[in-house]
Amino acid sequence: MTQFKNQPFFEATGIMEDFIAGPQLWLFPWRNPLTARLGREYFLGLPRRPGVYLMRDKDGRVIYVGQSKNLRQRLDSYRYARPESSSRKVIRLIARISTIEIELCPTAQAAMLRENFLLRKYRPLFNTVNTHPESHVFIRIRTEKEGLEVDYTNIQGTYSANEPGALIFGAFKSFPARRGLLALFRLFWSQSNLSADRHSLPVHLNGQKPPRPFRLKILTDNKRMARKTFDYFSGKSDVLINRLCGKSGQMLTSVEDPWLRDILSEDRDALTHFYRVGPARNTQLKEGSPLSRKQPIGQAQLDDLLVTVNLSV
C-alpha cells in the first residue's frame, strides 16, 4: 500500500480517471425492458408510416408523446437504447414505460400537428417543448399624449384588437421576447444616460427578464424612434438595433462604464436574435396563413404554424 501514500484513493487506483472519462458505472447490468414488457412481435408489427405515439406508465398516465414519419423505425430505436449511447432522460423514460399507443396520420406534417395537440392536452412529464403555449407573450404598443407605451402579457385576450391607438404583436416565444424587451428597455434608458456607470442602472433593469408590470415610454419628440419601433415589431425593420445604438455602435462606445457597455452589447445581440425569431418570423408565418398582417397569431397557433411552414422553433 506504500504506493498510495499521500495520494487520494481514487486517484491512486485510477478509479477517478475511469469515472471521468468513461461511461456511467452501473452497480448491476442494465437490460432494456421494452422487449420483455411489450413483446418482440409488437415491434415487428408496427407500420412504417407517419403517426404519433403515446407512452404510458403503469398507472395509465401519458408520460411522453412523440411523432415520426416511420413509426416502426422510431419506436424500434427505444428498444435498443442503452446508457452508454442514450441520454439519462431516455433511460429514465424507458424504465417507466408500461404501454405504447400509436395513431396513424396521412402525412408527416399531419403527425407533427397531431403531436402538438396531444402535447397541449396531456403535458407529459418527459416532454418540454410546445407543452405550455400559454407562456408565449403578446406585445402591445399604444399611442398616448406623451408618446408610445410598450408593454407585454402572456394572457391571451388581455389586449383588445379594437383598442384605439394600440397595436398588438405576437404571439412570440417567451424567453426571446422577454429578453428582447429587457434589452430594448436598457438601450432606451442608456440613450438618456450615456455617462452612466453600472451603479446607475435601475435595479429592475439589472436582471435577465423584464419586470412585472413592464412599460416603456418613448416620448413623442423622438418621432423617428417611434416609427422605427412600430416597424421593428411588425417585422419591417431589421436595422433598428443599429439605429438604437447609433451608427456603427457609436452610442455603446460613448458609455463610460466598461461593464455597462458589455451589457448593452449583449442586449444588442439579444434584440437581433429576438427580431429574427419573433417579428420577422411572424411576418413570414402570416404570409402562408389566412391571418392579416395586423392580426396577432394565437399562442397555440404559433406552434402549429411553425410546424406547417417547417421552421425551427
What are 247-298's pLDDT values in tens digits? 556 767 778 888 888 888 888 888 889 999 999 999 989 887 888 888 899 9
What mean pLDDT do residues 138-142 have?
90
Range(s) of the chain covered by CATH 3.40.1440.10: 22-122
**What's the gap between Cα 73 and its chain centre?**
28
d(CA 116, CA 304): 7
**Which pLDDT value is given to residue 196?**
82
d(CA 23, CA 260): 43
Give the residue among 56, 50, 45, 51 at the shortest CA–CA distance from 100: 56
Q: What is the pLDDT of residues 220-258, one digit of tens each?
A: 666 777 777 888 888 887 666 666 665 556 767 778 888
- Fold that domain 22-122 belongs to in CATH: GIY-YIG endonuclease (3.40.1440)
**Which pLDDT value is given to residue 54?**
98
Peptide bond just before 213 cis, omega within 30 deg: yes
- How does DSSP assign 3-63, residue by residue? GGTTS-HHHHHTHHHHHHHSPPP-SS-----HHHHH-HHHHHT--SS-EEEEEE-TTS-EE
d(CA 81, CA 153): 42
| SS3 at position 272 | helix
Q: Which three cell numbers stand for residue 283?
A: 411576418
H-state helical runs in 48-196: 71-79, 88-96, 108-122, 174-191
Q: Which three cell numbers stand for residue 58?
A: 403503469
Q: How far is CA 72 from CA 49, 111, 130, 184, in A?
A: 8, 14, 24, 48
The residue ranking higher by pLDDT, 311 or 281, is 281
| Whether the predicted model's global pTM rises above the 0.75 cut | yes
Regarding beta strands 166-172 and 137-143, do their DSSP bridges make them parallel or antiparallel, or are they unpaired? antiparallel
What percent of the chain clears pLDDT 90, i.e. is strictly above it? 42
- Per-residue confidence at 311, pLDDT binned at 50, 70, 90? very low
Give the residue among 150, 151, 168, 172 at the shortest CA–CA distance from 159: 168
**Which pLDDT value is given to residue 135?**
92
